[in-house]
Amino acid sequence: MINENPQTEYDSPWKQILQLYFQDFMLFFFPQAYEQIDWTKEPEFLDKELEQVVRDAELGKHLADKLVKIYLKNGEENWVLIHLEIQAQEDSDLPRRMYTYNYRIYDRYKRSVASLAILGDERVNWRPSQFGYELFECSVNFQFPVIKLVDYSQRLSELESSRNPFATVVMAHLKAIETRNNRVERKQQKLVLVRRLYEQGFEREDVLNLLAFIDWMLTLPLDLEREFQHEVEQLEAEQRMQYVTSFERFGIQKGKLEALLKGISLGLKLKFGSEGQNLLPEIESIQDVSVLEDILSGIETSSNVSQLRQIYQSSTTDTQPEV
């Protein structure tokens, strides 16, 4: 049985940004590997194939995973594979999962597979990079490189000066952690990131892609989101350019709401059955992304639907504007 997780639908921004800027991703996080890849040949993303490889395993779900077919400069192999894992939270099972994915992919394609991990959790000392065991002089020792996103909090000047899209991605990730309990400060940091995109002269398409990622990472209550959008419009007026139309902003917001509601619906069904599904009409009337995020998180921590209802009723009351 596949272990389904309602958070999966809400993880699409990471998967999208990886696919849009894969070459920049490798240059930013794995520069030595980047130099060995023949970038004159287009990488091929094997998402459906990866699903098929692992579909019969209860390996859990984390944040995002990708399987990419690439070519090497040395020509020793016609093509090889890169398996990417983006892990959101500490998970003791990650090394075993990395090993399992690696050997299953190799068994399917009979090609060399590099498994690479990006760790987005906050625990500085959690750095799993090896899986193995030994029995009767037979040993397995699987090692994989990891990148810890919190390490970049000590390299902020490097991030700020970089024009690589993943400098923005990492900064958005760090700011999301730092401002988790201060949404007013989150709005200010979100605006700083957007201003940086404009001032660095990114192309309009890149601004739209990165703004969508920032928007998903740094979600705001409805009142602060409106303030943020107004300040972005002022910023665009200062810069004498309009990257994001009101229609596109609406589309980004609508996409977030739809993804969250889809994840909530699945979560309610999996955990509470028909009783949980009965909450959907109430929840679907909520248009505040931050409240819907609380509901999605609350599905995991609530033991019954009454507890879950208390979470979002409380959140809804807290976010009502003062008269």
115: helix, coil or strand?
strand
* Domain limits for position 236: 161-244
321 in any annotated domain: no
pLDDT band at 268 (very low <50, low <70, confident <90, very high): confident
- 14 and 110 in a single domain? The answer is yes
- 298 against 24, higher pLDDT: 24
State the average pLDDT over residues 7-17: 62
What is the C-alpha R_g of the chain?
21
Confidence check: pLDDT of 138 > 90: yes
- 121 and 220 in a single domain? The answer is no
pLDDT at residue 117, as a whole number: 92
49 in any annotated domain: yes
pLDDT band at 225 (very low <50, low <70, confident <90, very high): confident
pLDDT band at 32 (very low <50, low <70, confident <90, very high): very high
- What are the C-alpha distances in Å from 312 to residues 215, 262, 268, 279? 22, 16, 14, 11
- 144 and 30 in a single domain? The answer is yes
- 230 and 260 in a single domain? The answer is no
> Residue 173, Cα to own-chain centre: how many angstroms?
9
Confidence check: pLDDT of 50 > 80: no
- 238 and 275 in a single domain? The answer is no
319 in any annotated domain: no
Confidence check: pLDDT of 245 > 60: no
Residue 304 structure tokens: 């019954």
> What is the total count of domains within the chain?
3
- 48 and 113 in a single domain? The answer is yes
- 50 and 137 in a single domain? The answer is yes
pLDDT band at 53 (very low <50, low <70, confident <90, very high): low
28 in any annotated domain: yes
How far is it, in rounded angstroms, from Cα 173 to Cα 214? 8
Question: What are 71-101's pLDDT values in tens digits?
Answer: 998 877 778 999 998 887 788 888 998 898 8
Confidence check: pLDDT of 197 > 70: yes
- 140 and 15 in a single domain? The answer is yes
132 in any annotated domain: yes
- Side-chain half-sphere of 127: how many Cα atoms within 13 Å? 9
268 in any annotated domain: yes
Indicate the average pLDDT of the chain.
79
Given 244, 262, 277, which residue is the final one in a domain?
244
242: helix, coil or strand?
coil
- 184 and 306 in a single domain? The answer is no
pLDDT at residue 255, as a whole number: 65
- 203 and 137 in a single domain? The answer is no
- 118 and 218 in a single domain? The answer is no
14 in any annotated domain: yes
- 50 and 120 in a single domain? The answer is yes
State the average pLDDT over residues 280-308: 73
Percent of the residues in the chain that have a pLDDT greater than 90, as a whole number: 24
42: helix, coil or strand?
coil
pLDDT at residue 300, as a whole number: 72
pLDDT band at 253 (very low <50, low <70, confident <90, very high): low
Given 150, 177, 196, which residue is the final one in a domain?
150
12 in any annotated domain: yes
pLDDT at residue 318, as a whole number: 47
Given 244, 264, 294, which residue is the final one in a domain?
244
pLDDT at residue 246, as a whole number: 46
pLDDT band at 243 (very low <50, low <70, confident <90, very high): low
Helix axis angle, 289-301 to 305-318, nearest 10°: 150
* Range of weakest confidence among 4-13, 208-217, 229-238, 272-281: 4-13
The label of the residue with tokens 């993880």 reads: 11
